[in-house]
């Protein structure tokens, strides 16, 4: 694995500490914060609060990927994402990623000042995505999914969960490098909750270390997800911060490099303590 990645003017040194990606959903319907930040002033205030709390990357998403979420049009996704990016880029210094599966959105977002593409389909929904990212020369996060957000909760059959996740990611890493994406600019994500049932989500945490063999930094997005709600018997996603903290600590213990989170101040504390416990001092 490449030991570091420079994004904007920030140097990400893998293995030294855990990095936090703060979620900024500019959607009306995301599962835990839909409608809260889908105007530019609210989005900017939330982004600034995350920066003040120590976030390393801000992840802007215009298309909800919660289970059953309806696909929106390209024009609508662009209309949600681009104005927010333009406001953020002028005011926010940290790297910005855009959560999209569309090459056209990726290209427009990078041109508007984004730095990273976060593709929940690992480059499989839009076959122009990987060549587009290669031409833009930006980092990409490749996530494992089975099915689509509309169908993924029915797509939870695996013969060998970790082997299949690993095989999918290896295939997409190869597809990415084949079209010219630098290996050092690829981050992988096992896709907690995306075509996985409750037991499978827990298994990913226990076996996360198996993915280190792919030699890419690992991102884990467990924040406020339904498996935590089930454990806590907590239907309100915003009341799952303590459960998220436990999952984040487990992810760090098993090799996660980046955590995608909603509750940045709380998870900053978690990651500082977990890093002190689990990472060797450099």
pLDDT band at 32 (very low <50, low <70, confident <90, very high): very low
d(CA 234, CA 246): 15
Residue range 58-108, pLDDT digits in tens:
999 888 777 777 788 999 999 889 999 999 999 999 999 999 999 999 999
Q: Which residues pair with 140 in a beta bridge?
A: 117, 186
Annotated catalytic residues are 225, 260
Residue range 205-251, pLDDT digits in tens:
999 999 999 999 999 999 999 999 999 999 999 999 999 999 999 99
Instruction: Note whether 57 and 141 are within 8 A (CB).
Output: no
d(CA 14, CA 16): 6
Q: pLDDT averaged over the chain?
A: 93
pTM (predicted TM-score): 0.95
Q: Which residue has the higher pLDDT, 149 or 144?
A: 144
d(CA 249, CA 91): 31
Q: Which domains does the chain have, with CATH numbers?
A: 17-278 (3.20.20.20)
């Amino acid at each position: 694995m490449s030991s570091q990645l420079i994004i904007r003017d920030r140097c990400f040194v893998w293995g030294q500490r855990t990095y936090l990606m703060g979620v900024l959903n500019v959607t009306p319907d995301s599962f835990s914060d839909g409608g809260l930040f889908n105007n530019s002033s609210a989005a900017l205030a939330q982004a600034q609060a995350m920066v003040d709390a120590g976030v390393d990357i801000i992840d802007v998403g215009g298309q909800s990927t919660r289970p059953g979420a309806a696909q929106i049009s390209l024009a609508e996704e662009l209309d949600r994402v681009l104005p927010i990016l333009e406001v953020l880029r002028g005011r926010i210094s940290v790297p910005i990623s855009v959560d999209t599966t569309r090459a056209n959105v990726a290209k427009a977002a990078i041109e508007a000042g984004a730095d990273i593409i976060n593709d929940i389909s690992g480059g499989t929904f839009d076959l122009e995505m990987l060549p587009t990212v290669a031409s833009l020369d930006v980092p990409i996060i490749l996530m494992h999914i089975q099915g689509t957000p509309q169908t993924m909760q029915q797509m939870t059959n695996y013969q060998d969960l970790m082997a299949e996740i690993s095989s999918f990611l290896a295939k997409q890493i190869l597809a990415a490098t084949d079209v010219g994406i630098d290996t050092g600019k690829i981050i992988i994500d096992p896709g907690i909750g995306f075509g996985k049932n409750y037991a499978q989500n827990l298994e990913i945490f226990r076996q996360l270390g198996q993915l280190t063999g792919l030699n890419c930094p690992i991102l884990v997005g467990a924040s406020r997800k339904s498996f935590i709600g089930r454990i806590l018997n907590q239907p309100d996603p915003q009341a799952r911060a303590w459960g998220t903290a436990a999952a984040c600590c487990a992810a760090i213990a098993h090799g996660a490099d980046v955590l995608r989170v909603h509750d940045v101040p709380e998870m900053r504390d978690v990651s500082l303590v977990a890093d002190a416990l689990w990472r060797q001092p450099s």
